[in-house]
């Protein structure tokens, strides 16, 4: 009962904190005169990616056994897979279910398609190198982690340089929740709301992941199955909920920018940490995770490159995570 209670309370806290976070980060982007895409890919993505990056950092730097360090490697591969499959499918489902609420006559995704296609190609290029390194061993491989950090720095520079409309130009901003009667809230209050929401997200996410692990123990699930399949879904919950909230508001540009920005972080920062501290060699489940992520990203790149995306076409990528979960369950069942 305690596990179930903490599970539900932490999930509810994450959702409520995400409501405050997306509201605060939109105002933060407005105050800094950032475009909607840059706000999603840089500010929102960096904030919500901190909890899962911390999981990787603790696992690979402070892990005392190879098994503990492997959790960090699994998180570095599982995070992008969740975002490329479940998170995009949630956006498609939210667009479909909120079409009448948004008073739309179609299911089209209203975004800068060329820019999102470019984001997918950036991610795919880095991800291929990242997975290729997991198949070979050589002396200087740990030093290549620096290149992933530089790649993320270059990505952020590009996002900030190529600004688009500010969030408020896309659709009127809702009042800041900490100052609902102020049409132009103070920067200090915007920062306070955003940071406090982020702290709550981090604490609630940590609690949520612990309950997922406890549920796995309760049902006698393999620790590897929990680490590879359930934990990544839990750690990527803030990005998924942010996307859901923004889509319900008709702001899918911010939603998809948040997801693509988080994918870039997951492809670079956790990977660099794991390269520094582990051999970074993949077993069969990790290789399958890499392949399925690549398939999902190629499909998404093809969709956005066409310049016209029906939200319902985002739904099939969610099935790829089911394929991965089924494979991992079968793999460890046969190994046992």
pTM for this entry: 0.86
Between CA 224 and CA 235, with CA 229 as vertex, the angle to 5 degrees is 110
Cα torsion 77, 119, 135, 318 to 10°: value is: 40
Please list the pLDDT of the chain residue by residue as tens digits (336 residues).
Answer: 788 898 889 888 888 988 899 899 889 888 888 776 777 778 888 777 766 676 677 667 766 666 666 667 777 888 899 999 999 999 999 999 998 888 888 889 988 898 889 999 999 999 999 999 999 988 889 899 999 999 999 988 888 776 555 444 445 678 999 999 888 899 999 999 999 998 888 888 778 877 877 887 787 777 667 777 887 887 788 889 989 999 998 888 889 988 998 899 888 988 898 888 888 888 899 999 999 999 999 999 999 999 889 999 999 999 999 999 999 989 888 876
Instruction: Take residue 37 and report the two structure tokens written for it.
Output: 């895409």
Query: How far, in Å, are 58, 194, 251, 290 from residue 46 at the CA level?
Result: 18, 12, 19, 22
In angstroms, the CA 307 to CA 302 distance is 9
């Amino acid at each position: 009962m305690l596990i179930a209670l903490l599970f539900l309370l932490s999930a509810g806290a994450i959702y409520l904190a995400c409501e405050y976070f997306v509201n605060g980060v939109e105002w933060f982007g407005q105050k800094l005169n950032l475009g909607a895409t840059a706000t999603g890919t840089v500010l929102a993505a960096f904030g919500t990616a901190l909890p899962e990056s911390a999981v990787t950092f603790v696992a690979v730097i402070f892990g005392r056994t190879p098994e503990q360090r492997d959790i960090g490697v699994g998180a570095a591969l599982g995070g992008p897979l969740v975002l490329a499959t479940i998170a995009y499918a949630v956006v498609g489902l939210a667009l479909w279910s909120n079409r009448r609420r948004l008073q739309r006559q179609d299911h089209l995704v209203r975004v800068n398609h060329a820019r999102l296609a470019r984001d997918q190609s950036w991610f795919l290029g880095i991800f291929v190198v990242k997975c290729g390194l997991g198949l070979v061993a050589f002396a200087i491989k740990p030093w290549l982690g620096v290149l992933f950090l530089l790649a993320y720095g270059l990505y952020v520079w590009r996002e900030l340089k190529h600004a688009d409309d500010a969030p408020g130009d896309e659709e009127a901003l809702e009042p800041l929740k900490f100052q609902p009667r102020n049409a132009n809230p103070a920067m200090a209050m915007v920062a306070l709301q955003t940071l406090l929401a982020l702290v709550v997200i981090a604490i609630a996410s940590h609690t949520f992941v612990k309950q997922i692990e406890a549920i796995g123990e309760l049902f006698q699930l393999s620790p590897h199955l929990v680490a590879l399949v359930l934990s990544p879904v839990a750690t990527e919950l803030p990005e998924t909920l942010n996307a859901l909230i923004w889509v319900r508001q008709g702001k899918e540009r911010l939603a998809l920018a948040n997801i693509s920005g988080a994918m870039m972080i997951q492809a670079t920062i956790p990977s660099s940490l794991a390269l520094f501290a582990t051999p970074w060699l993949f077993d069969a489940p990790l290789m399958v995770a890499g392949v399925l992520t690549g398939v999902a990203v190629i499909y998404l790149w093809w969709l956005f490159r066409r310049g016209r995306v029906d939200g319902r076409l985002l739904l099939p990528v969610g099935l790829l995570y089911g394929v991965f979960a089924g494979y991992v369950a079968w793999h460890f069942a046969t190994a046992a």
